[in-house]
Amino acid sequence: MPQIDTEFKGQTVITTFETSPAHAFDLLEALEAAYAEVISNQPGFVGAALHINDARTRICNYSRWDRREDYQAMLRTPEMRKRNAHITTLCKTFEPVMYEVAGAY
C-alpha cells in the first residue's frame, strides 16, 4: 500500500470520473478489473486507490508511478486503449491530472 509523503519523487496521478448512479458500479468494476488484470502489472506502477462518493456520481482514482513516462506508457498499451474505450462509455467525463505531493499530514 503506497504511503503519501513529500519524499516521494515519482508521479502521482489523480483522475476524477463523473458518472451516473446507474453506471457507477459498472464503472467501478471496470476500473477494478483494469487495475487487477493490467495496470498493477505495468513497469513503474507503485500503487493506487479508488474512491466513490455517496451520491454515486463521482469516482476518484489516486495512483502513483515511478516516472511520468511509466504512466504514459501504460495508457498506450493496446489492452488499456481497449479498456479505456469501454470506460469512457460509462462516464460523462473524466480528467487525469498529474501532481506532486506538496504536503502530508
The domain made up of 11-99 has a fold known as: Alpha-Beta Plaits (3.30.70)
| Cα–Cα distance for residue pair 88/86, rounded to 1 Å | 5
| Cα–Cα distance for residue pair 104/49, rounded to 1 Å | 17
Does residue 1 surpass a pLDDT of 70? no
pLDDT value for 83: 97
- Per residue in 39-87, pLDDT (tens digit) is 999 999 999 999 999 999 999 999 999 999 999 999 999 999 999 999 9
- Per residue in 4-24, pLDDT (tens digit) is 888 899 999 999 999 999 999
| Cα–Cα distance for residue pair 85/56, rounded to 1 Å | 21
Question: Which DSSP symbol is given to 7?
Answer: T
What is the pTM assigned to this prediction?
0.92
Whether 90 contacts 30, CB under 8 Å: yes
Show me where the domains of the chain are located. Answer: 11-99
